[in-house]
Amino acid sequence: MFVISIDDHGDERNFLATSFNIDRGVVIATICGLKRKFDAADVIDILPVEPLSDRNDRFIAEQPERQRMHG
């Protein structure tokens, strides 16, 4: 899992992604089971994180996206 920090017109947005790929200036990340595209120039940082437990992974995956996103 990864935390991907994005510059959104001066505001930092952080996403929890299960995977990502960088290709031709575009970051494609799997967030909440969906592929999301970001310009690589807008990426502030990508940090690997380890889940606390399988139970926490399931709990996080079950939450609606609006409750999981912070920024």
**Which residues are bridge partners to 37 per DSSP?**
28
pLDDT in tens, 2-58: 999 999 999 999 999 999 999 999 999 999 999 999 999 999 999 998 866 666 667
CATH of the domain at 12: 2.30.30
15 touches 6 (CB < 8 A): yes
How many independent structural domains does the chain possess? 1
Q: Which domain holds residue 56?
A: 2-68
- State how far Cα 47 lies from the chain centre: 10
pLDDT in tens, 22-38: 999 999 999 999 999 99
Which tokens is 8 given?
């959104």
